[in-house]
Amino acid sequence: MKTLLHNAVLVCPNGGERPGSLLIKGDAIAGVGTLDAPSDAVAVDCGGKLLAPAIVDLGVFAIDKPAFAAGGIVRAALMPDQSPVLDDPGIVQRAAAIGKPELWVHPLAAATRGVGGSDLAEIAILRDAGARAVATGRHAIADAGVMRKILAYAADCGMAVIAHAEDTALTAGAVATEGETATRLGLAAAPALAEALAVVRDLMLAEETGARLHFRQVTTAAAFDLIRAAKRRGVKVTCGITPAHLVLSDIAMTDFRTFAHLSPPLRGESDRQAARAAIADGTIDVLTSGHDPRGPEEKRLPFADSQPGAAGAETLLALALGLVRDELLPLDRLFALLARNPAQVLGIESGTLTQGAPADLILIDRDAPWRIDADAMRAKAGNTPFDGLPVQGKVVRTFKGGVEIAF
């Protein structure tokens, strides 16, 4: 089976942005650029729309196939905080299969048994069962000795460690970041410094062990400065962020809006601006949805009793395209953040429009206007802090391994 996607604007992290065509043969890209249509190929006119690598979403908490397809996500790295926890080879194997055939699911092995933070999981066995990286889960590893062992073990196994950046001694019981908003609302809060303290410890341990370290979300100016300096020293560190921490500050929690109860919590305006600067200068490597659908039983509660998290799969691309319109970064770099870089963290050959790469693709109408509607989302729950926000940019078609996925 051959398919020629022509009259497109190709967007590739490696090849830049240019008009052209793309030929799919089987499940892989067979050609890119100025191509003649093979006689046995099905021709698809893209109408001048963007053709880009499908999104590789690094660190989701639930598998939501309709939401992922609508959001242009074809590969999802599943966090270990599941029921049951991804700390057993059989469970990892089952997790890898739950997305078929519409979605590639890449399980992240629990770094510790039951994500309890103390006893190391059998990382090598979990790798052989299909885990693509090691993750600490929703919480940081409090014990530095345990974290050092995790990093060393993962390095020996050739896997990256995906860490949650938070000093748990400072954040225990907190639901917000210290500042005017938390004080006015009377919410238990932790200093933003709690993130930087965790980052500096793990950076030093990664530097000593030679491990690959990825912070799933970094959201404060102090932490970005530490990561910049570590990269200059040659530490194998990368970091990610969600659109929420680029677009919203802690003011969004006003009126106790539980849809704005996130982890890490929303920060002050100075940290939000620092995050946008970190996107522009390349400090941030990955944009992720942090997809974590929470129903009414977990969100329609007093703010302090509600669960953190947001359903981000369907809004990730549109909010990310807003960064391009704001001239923080060009389109090709955006898809490095959305596709190539997260694939590299996972050790997957994906995320580019190059010959031989998997034909995981999305066709995008970058100017299509729409309004985010929590009640109309395809996700298991529509808990988004962006409810009612007008945005631009929509996925028109999604292909996984050359096969179009309906949504």
- CA 251 to CA 332: how far, in whole Å? 32
- CA 266 to CA 272: how far, in whole Å? 9
**Which residues, in sequence order, are CB contacts of 384 under 8 Å at separation 6+?**
259, 310, 311, 312, 315, 372, 374, 377
Considering the entire predicted model, what is its pTM? 0.96
Compute the average pLDDT of residues 221-233. 98
Which SS3 state, helix, strand or coil, does residue 357 take? Answer: coil
pLDDT tens profile 45-84: 999 999 999 999 999 999 999 999 999 999 999 999 999 9
pLDDT tens profile 310-368: 999 999 999 999 999 999 999 999 999 999 999 999 999 999 999 999 999 999 999 99
Compute the average pLDDT of residues 94-114. 97
pLDDT at residue 37 is higher than 90:
no
pLDDT at residue 39 is higher than 90:
no
Q: What pLDDT score was predicted for residue 17? A: 96
Q: How confident is the model at residue 369 (pLDDT cuts 50, 70, 90)?
A: very high
Considering only the top CATH level, what class is 54-351+369-390?
alpha beta
What does the DSSP 8-state code read for residue 179? Answer: S
pLDDT tens profile 130-153: 999 999 999 999 999 999 999 999
Burial (CB count <10 Å: 0-12, 13-18, 19+), residue 198: buried
pLDDT tens profile 280-307: 999 999 999 999 999 999 999 999 999 9
pLDDT tens profile 77-89: 999 999 999 999 9
pLDDT at residue 170 is higher than 90:
yes
What does the DSSP 8-state code read for residue 310? Answer: B
To the nearest whole number, what is the mean pLDDT of the chain? 97
pLDDT at residue 381 is higher than 90:
yes
- CA 128 to CA 150: how far, in whole Å? 17
pLDDT at residue 36 is higher than 90:
no
Cα distances from 112 to residues 151, 168, 181, in angstroms, run 12, 16, 35
Cβ distance 290 to 59 under 8 Å? yes
Q: For residue 230, give the nearest of 162, 151, 273, 283 by alpha carbon.
A: 283
pLDDT tens profile 193-226: 999 999 999 999 999 999 999 999 999 999 999 9
Q: What pLDDT score was predicted for residue 44? A: 95
